[in-house]
Amino acid sequence: MKFLPLLWSNLQRKRLRTWLTLASIVVAFLLFGILQTMRAALTGGADLAGVDRLVTINKVSIIQPLPQSYLNRVRSVEGVRIAMSQDWFGGIFQDDRNQIAALTVDPKIFFEVYPEYSLPEAQRAEWQADRAGAIVGSAVAERFGWKAGDTIPLRSNIWTKSDGSSTWDLKIIGIYSTSNGDNSSLYFQYDYLNEARSFGRNNIGMIVMRIADPSRSADIARKVDEQFANSSTETKTSTEKAFVQGFANQMGSIGTIVTAVSSAVFFTMLLVIANTMGQSVRERTNELAVMKTLGFSSFQVTAMVLAEALLLTVLGAAIGLGVAAMAAMSLGQAIQQFFPTLGMPANTYIIGAVLAIGLGAIAGALPCAQAWQLKIVDALRKA
């Protein structure tokens, strides 16, 4: 620590060059933090999925419906504890920009399928009794200022009523909370949708089931699909995690994209920092020789050169990741309806610290070698 003022003075020798290099490192780690945030947002839902839940959809496409009669047949499969249908509603509140993850479910068994969701017992009973009732997550309720007892007009970009209207009036029964992070959804009764919609009556979008033994998920999924094999509407059953991950995979391998972009950025930064440190050592050759003359060992001189590189990269990484964290918070509030779990993962800081130290060490390797091999007589003669 006693050499820190000396290190900082050396970095300020060419202030413009140092600040430009620092700014480049900040931008690199800012980009890294945002990429990690988006990767977590696109794939994080899979990590929150229930380990004991399976999802059955139409084998052709998720947008193709299933007959409602399939639900009882799935319930009869050995190993299935409970199952319910689920339909995507495509909710819009007032403005097209206010999109809500609205789904229809069976309120009688919803909390058995999703035990991580909590709602007071009185509100659960009221929801079951009111066909036009809905429950909403705490995040979406706070966003729009909704409270229990409010009636909201929710427009669908998919479903229309038999009278031609696309607006559905829903009464907010309660505000749920959940331990899995998804507090931005809205759920209402399937019967309310099914009885009033102009098309698709007695069809369901998908079936979500809880199973008794997660270790038998592959076997149970196979048995479910075998029931509908060679029928006009075949099914595809997978774990909830695989189902959620499938959406992210439609955009390609997010992990590969993040790795490729980050690698390109950090390789560029490696060249920039190495060039900066190389120039710094060449400009101070005679000063380093004087330090050795005054009694500094080759190890001490080399360590200070390496410390300069590490100080630059660690400082830039700290600023960049800090700005990325603030950006993730602001971005999360803006697009919470699309990515309920948006936020910079905690391991980003650990990975960032390792990258900063590794980047500084590699970039400073050649300048350190030059400082170590520096001969006092030769350096002073050139001066």
The per-residue pLDDT for range 114-134, each reduced to its tens digit, is 998 999 999 999 999 999 999
Residue at 31 is within a domain: yes
Residue at 337 is within a domain: yes
Could you read off the pLDDT of 83-97 as tens digits, one per residue?
999 999 988 898 888
Backbone angles phi and psi of 98, in degrees to 5 = -95, 70
Decide which of 187, 202, 233 is a domain's last residue.
233
Is residue 46 very low, low, confident or very high in pLDDT (cuts 50, 70, 90)? very low
Is residue 343 very low, low, confident or very high in pLDDT (cuts 50, 70, 90)? low
Do 78 and 227 lie in a common domain? yes
SS3 content of the chain, % helix, strand, coil (to 5): 55, 20, 25
Mean pLDDT is lowest, of 10-24, 176-190, 201-215, for 10-24
Do 106 and 205 lie in a common domain? yes
Decide which of 177, 198, 233 is a domain's last residue.
233
Residue at 121 is within a domain: yes
Residue at 143 is within a domain: yes
Residue at 247 is within a domain: no
Do 95 and 213 lie in a common domain? yes
Point out which residues pair with 54 in neighbouring strands.
209, 239
Do 365 and 218 lie in a common domain? no
Residue at 240 is within a domain: no
Residue at 243 is within a domain: no
Q: Greater confidence, 104 or 340?
A: 104
Residue at 228 is within a domain: yes
Could you read off the pLDDT of 266-277 as tens digits, one per residue?
777 777 777 776
31 closest CA partner among 379, 319, 228: 319
Token pair, residue 242, equals 């695989």
Q: What is the count of structural domains for the chain?
A: 2
Do 262 and 189 lie in a common domain? no
* Domain of residue 200, residue span: 60-233
Do 211 and 65 lie in a common domain? yes
